[in-house]
C-alpha cells in the first residue's frame, strides 16, 4: 500500500475576500510552476486538513486548497447566507484568477466530487483533468438511501439515536426538525442535534474500519467521518415546508463554544442548509451537468463498501462520462484515508503530470 507524501506547509496562505460578506481561506503549496491542482473537500461543511496536501508530489504539483464558505478557517464560521453551490463555483473561479492559474486539475471526494462536476460543467475550459472519489450525485435516490430506507437498515441503532434528537411527532420531517435545532437558541437542543448528526454520519462512514472506542478517535477524524461525509437530507413529505435559502436565519456560531465544538456546529449547519435546499442542484441535476463536462482525463474511484455514497453512483457517473477510467476498490469504504483508496488516488496523481508534459 502506498503512503501519502510527507507533510508539507503552504508556500502562501490567507483569506480571499469574495465581496459579499465571506472570506475564503486558501493555501498554495508545492511547486510554483508545477501542475496546478485544486483539492475540493467534502461535506458540504467540512474543510481542508493537512493530509489533503499529501495526495500530490510537491515537487511536481502546485497544490491549491480552500475551505468553502463558512467552513474550516473561512469567515464567518458557519455562515449560510450567500452560500449556495453557485457561490462555491464562483469562488473557485475567483481563486483561480487571483492565483494566476490558467487551467487546473480538479480533485474532489464525496461532496467535493459533486462540486468538481458542477464547476467543470460551468467552466470547462479551465479544467485539465478530473479526479472524483466516492462521488455524491445528490439524486433523490441518494437522499432516500441516506435518510429513509437504506442506510437506516444497516445501522439501526445510530438511526434511532438520530431520530431521538427530535420529538416523535417531528420524525416525519426529520431534516426540518434538526434544522430548527441547530439554528435555534437552546444550547442543549442544539448540541444534542449536532451530536446525533455527527454520530449518524460517522457510523455510516466509518463502518468499513475496525471499531476503536470513541476515546481513541481524534476529533479531526470524528469530524471528517461525520458532517464532511454524510450527504444527508430527508426527502420532502407532502405538504412539508422546508427552509428556503432566502429565509435562512443569520445565527452566528456562539463564541462560548470551544473551537472543535464550534466547527462541528458550523459544519452541521452548513450541511443541513445545503440538504434542505437539495444542494441547490434540483433544477439542473448533477448528472445533467456531468454530461456538459469537458472530455479531459477523468478518473472515477469508489469503494465497494462505501455505505455513505453507494458504488452505484460511480457506475451511473461512468455511463455519462464513458471516457473516464472507473475503479471500484474491494474492501474499501468512503474515506480517502483508507489504505486502498489512498494508494489508488496517489497512483492517479503520480500519472497525471506525465499526461501534460
357/347 Cα distance (integer angstroms): 17
Q: List Cβ neighbours of 225 (8 Å cut-off, separation of 6 or more).
A: 201, 202, 205, 206, 335
267/200 Cα distance (integer angstroms): 14
Q: List Cβ neighbours of 284 (8 Å cut-off, separation of 6 or more).
A: none
| β-bridge partners, 109 | 133
Of 69, 121, 137, 39, the C-alpha closest to 295 is: 121
Look up residue 211 and give its three cell numbers: 471499531
Which phi and psi (to 5°) does residue 300 adopt? -115, 115
Per-residue burial over 69-105, b = 16 or more CB atoms within 10 Å of its CB, e = otherwise: bbbbbbbbbbbbbebbbebbbbbbeebbeebebebbb
Query: Catalytic residue numbers?
Result: 110, 306, 334
**Strand intervals (E) in the chain:** 12-17, 23-30, 35-40, 61-66, 104-109, 127-133, 298-303, 325-329
297/319 Cα distance (integer angstroms): 15
44: cis peptide before it, omega within 30°? yes
Residue at grid coordinates 472530455: 295
CB atoms within 10 A of CB 32: 10
143: left (phi over 0), alpha (psi -120 to 50) or beta: alpha
Q: List Cβ neighbours of 168 (8 Å cut-off, separation of 6 or more).
A: none
Confirm if 19 and 72 have CB atoms less than 8 A apart: no
Amino acid at each position: 500500500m502506498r503512503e501519502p507524501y510527507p507533510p508539507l506547509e503552504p508556500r502562501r496562505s490567507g483569506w480571499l475576500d469574495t465581496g459579499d460578506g465571506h472570506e475564503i481561506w486558501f493555501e498554495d503549496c508545492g511547486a510554483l510552476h508545477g501542475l496546478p491542482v485544486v483539492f475540493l473537500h467534502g461535506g458540504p461543511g467540512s474543510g481542508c486538513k493537512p493530509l489533503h496536501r499529501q495526495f500530490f508530489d510537491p515537487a511536481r504539483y502546485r497544490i491549491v486548497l480552500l475551505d468553502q464558505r463558512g467552513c474550516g478557517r473561512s469567515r464567518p464560521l458557519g455562515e449560510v447566507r450567500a452560500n449556495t453551490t453557485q457561490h462555491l463555483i464562483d469562488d473557485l473561479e475567483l481563486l483561480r484568477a487571483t492565483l494566476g492559474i490558467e487551467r487546473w486539475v480538479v480533485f474532489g471526494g464525496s461532496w467535493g466530487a459533486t462540486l468538481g462536476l458542477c464547476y467543470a460543467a460551468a467552466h470547462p475550459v479551465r479544467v485539465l483533468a478530473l479526479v472524483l472519489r466516492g462521488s455524491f450525485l445528490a439524486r433523490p435516490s441518494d437522499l432516500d438511501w441516506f435518510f429513509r430506507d437504506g442506510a437506516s437498515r444497516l445501522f439501526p441503532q445510530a438511526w434511532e439515536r438520530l431520530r431521538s434528537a427530535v420529538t416523535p411527532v417531528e420524525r416525519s420531517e426529520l431534516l426540518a426538525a434538526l434544522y430548527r435545532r441547530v439554528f435555534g437558541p437552546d444550547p442543549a437542543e442544539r448540541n444534542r442535534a449536532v451530536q446525533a448528526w455527527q454520530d449518524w454520519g460517522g457510523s455510516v462512514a466509518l463502518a468499513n474500519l475496525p471499531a476503536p472506542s470513541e476515546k481513541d478517535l481524534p476529533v479531526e477524524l470524528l469530524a471528517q467521518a461525520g458532517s464532511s461525509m454524510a450527504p444527508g437530507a430527508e426527502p420532502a413529505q407532502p405538504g412539508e415546508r422546508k427552509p428556503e435559502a432566502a429565509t435562512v436565519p443569520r445565527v452566528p456560531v456562539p463564541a462560548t463554544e470551544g473551537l472543535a465544538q464550534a466547527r462541528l456546529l458550523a459544519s452541521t449547519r452548513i450541511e443541513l442548509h445545503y440538504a434542505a435546499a437539495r444542494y441547490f442542484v434540483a433544477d439542473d441535476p448533477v448528472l445533467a451537468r456531468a454530461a456538459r463536462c469537458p472530455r479531459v482525463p477523468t478518473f472515477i474511484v469508489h469503494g465497494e463498501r462505501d455505505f455513505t455514497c453507494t458504488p452505484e453512483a460511480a457506475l451511473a457517473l461512468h455511463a455519462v462520462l464513458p471516457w473516464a477510467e472507473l475503479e471500484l476498490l474491494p474492501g474499501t469504504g468512503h474515506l480517502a484515508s483508507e489504505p486502498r483508496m489512498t494508494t489508488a488516488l496517489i497512483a492517479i496523481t503520480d500519472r497525471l503530470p506525465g499526461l501534460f508534459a
